[in-house]
Every structure is written in C-alpha cells, then in structure tokens.
Structure 1
Amino acid sequence: MKTNLENSRRPSPPRVWEYILPGGYRVMAGKTDTDNDHLSLKTAASTDWWFHVRGMPGSHVVLKVDKNQPPDKKTLNQAAAIAAYHSKARNGGVVAVSGTLARHVSKPRGAKPGTVQIRKERIFKVRPSLPEAG
C-alpha cells in the first residue's frame, strides 16, 4: 500500500488572512504559529514591514511594500491595527503594536514555531480594526 508521505513533507504555503489597504498595499496575517514563521521568515521581503501586538499572543502581520513606494504613517497604522485585531488584545482599547522592517526579524536558534526576535522596533499605538470593505 502506497502512502502520501512524500506529499506530507512538502511545506504547504502559509494560511493567511489578506487585506488590501488604500494605495493598493497588501497586508497578510498568519493563522497559526507555523504560518507566522513562514510569513515572517520566508514570504516577507526585506523591505516589507512586520507587525505583532506587544506582550501577548497574536498573528504576525506583514505589509507588502514596493521598494519605490514606501508606506505613509496612515498605512503603517492601518497595518498595525490589523495586527492588534488578530491578537488577544482585539477587544482592548488602544493597543501597543511592535513594527519593524522584515529584515530586522529573525528566529532564535531552537525557538518554537511563531517565536521571533526583532531589532529596530517602532511602537504603534492603535485601536484594533480591519480595513473597511469595499
């Protein structure tokens, strides 16, 4: 009897929630720790922005950035608000979210899935929310 063991070893693409912000910016939020790892360390380009709520569990969020079109403050705040929404702080008021360029995100040796360390952190104070549909 033949099994699909070969197929199960191939990593599947990360499962993410996707949003489009004004200006055409794409934001992706991981659904599981493994998805967060893949999104943060494999999918994100060095010039993309990375976000995570501070001090509690939540999705890793990546704002895809075109090198020639850096995001403005409003776009960064919207991406941070998505990170706050996809966290345990969803029902909080104003939430602190860490943000940095994806090039400053790394995985400590031997760390469990979903665990990363960041440098050059910037703190965004936002209310958890998703972009308006439309």
Structure 2
Amino acid sequence: MDVFVYGTLTNPERVADLVDSYAFVGPARLRGLHLVEGRYPTLAPGGEAAGRLLRTEAVDRIDDYEGVDDGLYVRVSVPRTDGGEAAVYVGDPDRLDADADWPGEGPFAARVRAFLARRDVVVEPVVDR
C-alpha cells in the first residue's frame, strides 16, 4: 500500500524502526489539505502539502505508531492523480494542539471523512523532469 507521509515518517530511519519492508517511491504533493504544526504535524482543509510516497504492506504498524485505535490520527484513502489511492493520516488538531478547524459536527474522524467526500483532495506524485 502507498502512504502519503509528510512528517516524522519522511525520515527513513524512523520508518525502518517501525516496519521491516518499505520503499520510498518518490516525492508527492497532497492537494486540498495543508500542513499544520502542533505537538506532531497534522493536516487541515485547503491548500497543499509536500511529502513522500511510502510503500509498505505493514500499515497496521503505522496505524499503531499514529495512534489510530486511540483516535489521535485517522487513516483515510485519497485518490492519486495517476490512478489508485494512497493512505493519508490526519491528526486530531485538538489533541495535537494544532491550529486547524475541520468543519461539520460529530467525531473528528467523521468530519474528516465527510470533508474528503465533498472536496477534491488528491495525492499527486511529483515527477522529476
């Protein structure tokens, strides 16, 4: 599975501590969400964020690292401009002390998924020319 990474998981040493097998498949841009700093980096509606595409089958290990079961981050699928999808982790700004606002009502994960269903958010692999 391809994962768009934009924070600590852009560091190969950090990824190697988490998973046994992985590859960075190139730089990428996330259009429709932008980077917000907090206790840990997260994303917020609008703009774009630079990152990398990480390929691994060990997303369960990344889920553990990102605190998905505890609701710290939510993993969502975002379409890629070249076909297919990439996983993206979005952190709860309230729990990360980040200045971000996700519109809507209800739990954080539901607001993120509702936003993505209504907006054009895509992962665009960056091709060096």
Q: TM-score, normalised by structure 2?
A: 0.35
**Structure (1 or 2) with the greater strand fraction:** 2
Which has the higher relative contact order, 1 or 2, with Cα contacts under 8 A spaced 6 or more apart? 2
Structure having the higher Rg: 1
Q: TM-score, normalised by structure 1?
A: 0.34
